[in-house]
Amino acid sequence: MAVQQQSTKVTQREPELRRLIAECRHKPTLAFYQRMDSLGTSLVDDYAYADWQRGATMLKLQDRDKHRSFQVGHRGFSLSIDEPVTQGKACSHVRRLIETASQKLDAESYERAGVRFTYVCESNKKFSDLCADVEKRFFCKSTTLSRILDDVNDVGFVVDCKCNDKWGYVMRLGPMVRKQWFEVQDYSEKTFRSEIDFQKFQQSIPETFFYVDIDYGYQDAEAKDVGPFVEDASTHARKLAKNVSEYLVKGGV
């Protein structure tokens, strides 16, 4: 009697937001140093960023329970949400923080406002098979190029796009394994309660996956326009990540 072999069904999950980073850059002013502490106090009292470190020119704050960080200096501020949460909640938190920072710093405009969404699409495929999928979907077939190159171990796709007259994005995507993720994502262990907490977080990243990183930029932005920009970019990023991940699996014309 022939022995039936069970085949493993190939699966790829929906994109999951695993990191959200935002940044606003402004021209330096002497007035910043008087306003920095007011902003820091608000983050501690109103947003539970309880752990803080202050220097002469910079203030760093963390919420270790929710793995969030905020850093402000004379050229601007940045914030990072490292704990996977629903995109709507993360985006709302970022918008409120930016609006608070703009008010406390008395900022009317920014040289650049940016928000970056990094998604993970877990897959049970081998890493080499994911590389082949990316090559198939995002690169043209060329026997000449194949002769020029040696054996390909990894592959990625990068594109710079314009959404409108005000802002656009750079998208990077490709296959990845857990070890690579922590080589390219700069995490601070100070955002976590303990080394064990950080190790648990590391294990929450899939072993093999397809990532989509979308970095939006808005040049010469009025402070009042940054909040709506974050919301619009979030909606755009969610749709783009979903469509790109589906294209990787199903292909198209």
pTM, to two decimals: 0.89
Reported in sequence order, the residue ranges of the chain that DSSP labels E, i.e. its strands, are: 16-25, 51-54, 58-63, 68-73, 76-81, 109-122, 157-162, 167-177, 208-222
pLDDT (mean) for 13-24: 92
Minimal CA–CA distance to 47: which of 83, 7, 100? 100
Give me 195's structure tokens.
């080394």
Does an H or E element contain 195, and which?
helix 195-203
Report how far residue 228's alpha carbon sits from residue 92's, in angstroms, rounded to the nearest whole number: 11
- pLDDT greater than 50 at residue 1: no
* pLDDT exceeds 60 at position 93: yes
In the predicted model, what is the mean pLDDT of the chain?
A: 89
pLDDT at position 3, please? Answer: 46
- For the segment 87-93, the average pLDDT, to the nearest whole number, is 91
pLDDT score of 12 more than 50: yes
Q: Where residue 252 falls among pLDDT bands split at 50, 70, 90?
A: low
Mean pLDDT within 203-217: 95
Is the confidence at residue 66, as pLDDT, over 60?
yes
pLDDT at 154: 86
Q: Give me 50's structure tokens.
A: 């309880």
Q: CA-to-CA distance for 240 and 23, rounded, in angstroms? A: 21
Q: What is the pLDDT of residue 8?
A: 54
Residue 102 has φ and ψ, to the nearest 5°, of -60, -40
CB 125 within 8 A of CB 222: no
For the record, the structure tokens of 145 come out as: 């190029």
How large a percentage of the chain has pLDDT more than 70?
94
pLDDT of residue 107 exceeding 90: yes
The amino acid sitting at 231 is: E
Nearest CA among 213, 205, 191, 212 for reference residue 70:
191
**Reduced to 3 states, what is the DSSP secondary structure of residue 101?**
helix
Q: Give the alpha-carbon dihedral of 180, 20, 116, 242, to 10 degrees.
A: 80
In 3D, which of 47, 25, 52, 22 has the Cα closest to residue 37?
52
User: In terms of C-beta density within 10 A (0-12 exposed, 13-18 middle, 19 or more buried), how is residue 26 classed?
Assistant: buried
Residue 43 has pLDDT above 60, yes or no: yes
Report the residue count for the chain: 253
Instruction: Work out the widest C-alpha separation in the chain, in whole angstroms.
Output: 84
Distance CA(132)–CA(242), nearest Å, equals: 20
- Is it the case that residue 197 has pLDDT exceeding 50? yes
Who has greater pLDDT, 149 or 22?
22
248 residue type, one letter: L
